[in-house]
Structure 1
């Protein structure tokens, strides 16, 4: 088969050779009767126009052209213009073939992604340019997304390891497997199929993608003032492009003319070399990577990355996720013993701080402890921040003991301890490369330097804190006395911000600005270098618990159950989000700003103000009406509550992918999204205890031998949970108080997973089944947190009360048994003392005291004075009251009843802290269990690509 036949049979090629933008065929072809016969019909000059119309097709081409030029020369310009306009469809030219690639890419850059996919389907030459790497990278950033550049660069380096070994391997096997053409294409530049250089673009790879120089430059994220791109509908961009094939040879009649300008690789010649599968250096095939022929190496495939990000955002929109928890369900002994107040995570680690006075560093992939718990605080760990970058390698924590501790993140070593950093509990810590900022219940914000500071540096030097002018050293008789003063060591207090009248619950640092929120209902913006307050915002009706600051917006959550958005430049409120029915304790926002968002947001704000003033002048809006409902982002004049802001209602930014996630004492997490009008609405509600239960059930449902149910059958016979198991002991009002004492002699210890699986089985069966299980398997009492969550899922309040009574009776029996054992040990010790005294070798022996429950540590969580005046919601305690002290899932201390199950109206689900990134949300609450939602939803392709996705901010 000839090369031309192969090209014409290719599904990607057009059904016939392209016409180079115009056709040689006439618009209305007529039958050729012969010129001589047509001339015989011409009798007089007056018949000439009609004769020409009827017999123009019979004239020779040269005569037609001459006659047309004569006629056109006699026409006015307007008539010629009409003729050109009518002929324009026939004069269409393929700009891709005749314009430089830079201009072609500039044209294609004006298209939205869906239209660009249609361009890919057009023809091979259009496909080659439409798959340009820099073009899709620009489209990725124009959606408001960001990428983790360091991760891309490091993964590209790893993927290309052993590439030379691969080429050498192909050299060795070419004689036996016939890869000569591929090797020649890879190692020789003499072949025409490999020379794919294009002016200003480097070389096109197998997918038409190049990583070489591009008209868009190395950093598409820095583009500004570009036209907005809109995407209509969801489309699998990879699937649509895969149907079109890859770049190949030109199929037009002008191939020989264009060969000097464009040279394309065939799919075979552009494939990278692959090691045999058994080789440890073998590279798994993945569409995440594309072959860059210009540099003979793999590069990231930005078109595939764009498609994966769209798929991930679709999962966010449709609430498709899988749940997980810390600790891993199979290793509950690694978890905290009490509630978790604070957390932070990155791509590889999660750090949590708890009321049990410890911090734990988790491997976020395995959900196991990365190292033993960090011990150093004498009170609850209320706040923390870490930076795992080797250049920083820092973890800073604040506690209710009023101390701040600086740790080396990689080892857990204490580097520095700021003793009595505040007079009361430290509620928040934030740091950047220059300073550490802390806030406290003592109503003060303090600033500490992170680098040594010389006295003549008013705020630091170029490499330390803040660049300032320097005095030139005098070499005469005037010594520079400031140089003789001592240098301030790191973590010395260099500033103090006073102004709040209540506890400062949260702070944010960005550049020279510090934003603080307090129980006094105000938000303050400070210039920390000058130690002055630049803006005070009376933000809420009650105390403020949390804040988020991105430089343009301030987002806060309060005891008035609202999430509010403020313009940071003017302090005006641009949105109020109402969806919680209790204190909003934590919030994180991502507005998905586009490269041109700031200019468009200011223009949109002016437009909304103009419409509002026009409506006021026409009497459609009463500006003095204070009863208007809260505006969640609507731009209608009747909903506008403030004018003059730099941001439009709702906060601006990209409407498609922006999100706000808030957590509350009402035990819910809300994901807020904007509708088509830009109004923030609750898109999804999440509950921490449900996520933990699903994660544990999912782990328990694994097939054998990992299935704990099967393992339970190997340990001992399962207790009967059917109707026959209902013993006649309990009455209708509740189970019998005479619970059997757990700890039978034939009971065997159970693994944590088996214990939780047993709890899942016996709790739904009723109080009698749980009573029997506690008698046969006393180890399950140690998993009281999971037992508590399982009991609270029961729909009947009576059944829940019966189950709680059974657990309380079992715990009381354990405590009584331990106390009796300690008394017998004490009696034996006294007997031994008496015997030893009579023998003349009396040595004082101390009798161990009876174990008593330990009082909970002093609570130092968010202090919001105004919350005390708030009437608690139905079924909820007061927001300002400290969360109840309860034990975590782990080892029970002898003699301490740590398995107390709180009342159902005080379930441990108040959300304390949450954080989200591109793929997941993780939150902590009153329970020792940390829960998460992964929106990759178990998709291996998304999980592979998600490491390159940065958080929407």
Structure 2
């Protein structure tokens, strides 16, 4: 006997039915010129070899290269039968595509031929994040999993060089990994990790050793006062980490389930310099010289003035949670991806944003007028309107 998967065939609360109806109505919009795929998009990174392309990780069990200008999405890296959660480009000359997967493995393919390569096995739960690094001329892959482990791999041999966990063994599922561009050198890297707890941790890694960095106290400690073991500036899970640049003044930017994105100051020992109140789980953050862009569970892409910290504009179009952001074309556009299966592109030029703001203002004015018209019309019932019409007719007589 066949079984329906249509949610309309099952018991629905009023709230869930309302949400489903809203998303169904919103799904047909063309805001952001959507490229529509057939599965949820769980991660996105820029293509280092093309300013018009991105790599995405899909729940259908593949990685994909997409040209957002030509809208070509036919370059697909296949193999996994479980969702792909993360994607990275690395290896000699960036020749390899890597993908972290729910099947606990990291898959790889030749970037040009899409031929499957080595699989990296070692995690005991979902692989959540992967990044590429190079130390003393050796290509490394670093992965973080739902098993709370960070594993450093020798890409060429597949050997595990290091396995890292919090010294208190309290670290929860890894969410993101990023390299510190200032403190990393040719012979040693400093890795920053975030997880499903609010703690941000730092790690010092070279080819022969790896260890957790204990944080200095945010202010001069009193005698006998312990140092901080972690960076603790959020209330709950930290989903994304991002450095603001490659120079010595680069700060750490974060996106959290506590509804905020933050700038953590390097000069002030990673304490909060700026806070952006997005309002719901913040899954993604991106930066340009002028803007801070945040997105997440509320489906919106918010653009903030980086100088004043004020919200400049809200781009609406996605109808499910936004999972990633990438800035392209020299800070002129931001690309957003979502579990709604769409890739959308939004302008970041001043002219683009001004046009978008005016269009939104006109749209809101139209909604207000429509609501007022409905309100006036609904003051009388059909019977009352008929009675009023009859009275008016009698007055004319």
For the superposition of Structure 1 and Structure 2, which TM-score range results when normalised by the shorter chain?
Answer: 0.5 to 0.7
After superposition, the Cα gap between the structure-2 partners of 1:676 and 1:378, relative to the gap in structure 1 and judged at 3 Å, is: closer
Deviation of 1:666 (Å):
1.5
Q: Does the alignment pair 1:499 with 2:230? A: no
- Residues 707-750 of structure 1 show CA distances to partners (whole Å, capped at 9, x for unaligned) of xxxxxxxxxxxxxxxxxxxxxxxxxxxxxxxxxxxxxxxxxxxx
Deviation of 1:358 (Å):
0.2
Q: Does the alignment pair 1:575 with 2:313? A: yes
Report the secondary structure of 1:678's partner residue: helix
State the distance in 2 between where 1:577 and 1:680 align: 12
Match of 1:427 in 2: 175
Report the secondary structure of 1:491's partner residue: strand
Deviation of 1:540 (Å):
1.3
Match of 2:16 in 1: none
Asked if 2 retains the 8 angstrom alpha-carbon contact of 1:673 and 1:681, the reply is no
Q: Does the alignment pair 1:546 with 2:284? A: yes
Report the secondary structure of 2:231's partner residue: strand
Asked if 2 retains the 8 angstrom alpha-carbon contact of 1:344 and 1:384, the reply is yes
Asked if 2 retains the 8 angstrom alpha-carbon contact of 1:515 and 1:549, the reply is no
Asked if 1 retains the 8 angstrom alpha-carbon contact of 2:264 and 2:274, the reply is no
State the distance in 2 between where 1:362 and 1:388 align: 19
- Residues 192-220 of structure 1 show CA distances to partners (whole Å, capped at 9, x for unaligned) of xxxxxxxxxxxxxxxxxxxxxxxxxxxxx
State the distance in 1 between where 2:151 and 2:337 align: 27
After superposition, the Cα gap between the structure-2 partners of 1:326 and 1:389, relative to the gap in structure 1 and judged at 3 Å, is: farther
Deviation of 1:528 (Å):
4.3
Q: Does the alignment pair 1:447 with 2:202? A: yes
Match of 1:558 in 2: 296
Deviation of 1:566 (Å):
2.7
Asked if 1 retains the 8 angstrom alpha-carbon contact of 2:135 and 2:206, the reply is no
After superposition, the Cα gap between the structure-2 partners of 1:513 and 1:356, relative to the gap in structure 1 and judged at 3 Å, is: same
State the distance in 2 between where 1:450 and 1:551 align: 31
Candidates 344, 352, 357, aligned match of 2:104: 357
- Residues 512-542 of structure 1 show CA distances to partners (whole Å, capped at 9, x for unaligned) of 4111111111112113464332423233121
Match of 2:210 in 1: 490
Equivalent residues in 2 for 1:46-65 (5 A)?
A: none
Query: Which structure 2 residue ranges, 5 or more long, are not aligned?
Result: 1-47, 53-65, 216-229, 357-397
State the distance in 2 between where 1:489 and 1:389 align: 12
Deviation of 1:431 (Å):
1.3
Candidates 87, 112, 117, aligned match of 1:343: 87
- Residues 342-396 of structure 1 show CA distances to partners (whole Å, capped at 9, x for unaligned) of 112254211100010000121111111222x100100100011013687251211
Equivalent residues in 2 for 1:543-942 (5 A)?
A: 543-550=281-288, 553-590=291-328, 592=330, 658-673=332-347, 677-679=351-353
Deviation of 1:659 (Å):
2.1
Deviation of 1:550 (Å):
5.0
State the distance in 2 between where 1:374 and 1:678 align: 44
Candidates 253, 256, 263, aligned match of 1:518: 256
Asked if 1 retains the 8 angstrom alpha-carbon contact of 2:260 and 2:276, the reply is yes
After superposition, the Cα gap between the structure-2 partners of 1:394 and 1:552, relative to the gap in structure 1 and judged at 3 Å, is: farther
Deviation of 1:589 (Å):
1.1
Equivalent residues in 2 for 1:146-157 (5 A)?
A: none
Match of 1:265 in 2: none
State the distance in 2 between where 1:534 and 1:545 align: 19
State the distance in 1 between where 2:120 and 2:196 align: 24
State the distance in 1 between where 2:205 and 2:159 align: 17
After superposition, the Cα gap between the structure-2 partners of 1:388 and 1:349, relative to the gap in structure 1 and judged at 3 Å, is: farther
Given the two structures, how large is their TM-score scaled by the length of structure 1?
Answer: 0.26
Report the secondary structure of 1:679's partner residue: helix
Give the total of aligned pairs. 266
Q: Which has the larger radius of gyration?
A: 1
- Residues 766-793 of structure 1 show CA distances to partners (whole Å, capped at 9, x for unaligned) of xxxxxxxxxxxxxxxxxxxxxxxxxxxx
Report the secondary structure of 2:192's partner residue: strand
Given the two structures, how large is their TM-score scaled by the length of structure 2?
Answer: 0.59
Match of 2:124 in 1: 378
- Residues 265-305 of structure 1 show CA distances to partners (whole Å, capped at 9, x for unaligned) of xxxxxxxxxxxxxxxxxxxxxxxxxxxxxxxxxxxxxxxxx
Query: Which structure 1 residue ranges, 5 or more long, are not aligned?
Result: 1-147, 152-307, 328-334, 453-487, 593-652, 683-953
Deviation of 1:413 (Å):
1.3
After superposition, the Cα gap between the structure-2 partners of 1:674 and 1:535, relative to the gap in structure 1 and judged at 3 Å, is: closer
- Residues 493-518 of structure 1 show CA distances to partners (whole Å, capped at 9, x for unaligned) of 23321121121111112454111111
More helix by share: 1
- Residues 806-852 of structure 1 show CA distances to partners (whole Å, capped at 9, x for unaligned) of xxxxxxxxxxxxxxxxxxxxxxxxxxxxxxxxxxxxxxxxxxxxxxx
Candidates 305, 310, 319, aligned match of 2:70: 319
After superposition, the Cα gap between the structure-2 partners of 1:494 and 1:366, relative to the gap in structure 1 and judged at 3 Å, is: same
